[in-house]
Amino acid sequence: MENRPKIMIVDDDPTNIEIVTEILEESYEIRPVYSGEEALEEIYSFKPDIVLLDIMMPGIDGYEVCKIIRADEQIKDITILLVSAKAMAKEMKRGFEVGADDYITKPFEHDDLALQIAKHVKNRNQ
């Protein structure tokens, strides 16, 4: 079996995870997790290439998860794409300030998400 890039999808909404999984599962190895806490537990064993990280979650939100990842030598180089329904400039600015590589606004077109992920996978492999 070929080595497919690994994507961790972090979202507290199972429907969102299901939609994103359907879009990406053909090309990537997917690990769905349902909270920031679970993401921080699973990230060391799964070793994703990309974390698709929802911002608005109970407990540890996406911004905090991003900061924690960036502060940890073992995992700081993982590509982080924040996902949010908030398309306001201040939200995007905060996302980049905490270390996100990109910011994706929901709802998104399926093809647009697939292209964004492919672009970031390609950038990681260069």
Tell me, what CATH number does 87's domain have? 3.40.50.2300
User: pTM to 2 decimals?
Assistant: 0.94
Residue 18 placed within a domain: yes
* Tens digit of pLDDT at every position of the chain (126 positions): 468 999 999 999 999 999 999 999 999 999 999 999 999 999 999 999 999 999 999 999 999 999 999 999 999 999 999 999 877 889 899 999 999 999 999 888 999 999 999 999 999 887
Residue 1 placed within a domain: no
Q: To which residue do tokens 């911002």 refer?
A: 55
Identify the helix (H) or strand (E) that includes residue 50.
Answer: strand 50-54
Residue 120 placed within a domain: yes
Residue 109 placed within a domain: yes
In the chain, the number of structural domains is 1
**In which domain, by residue range, is 69 found?**
6-124
Residue 110 placed within a domain: yes
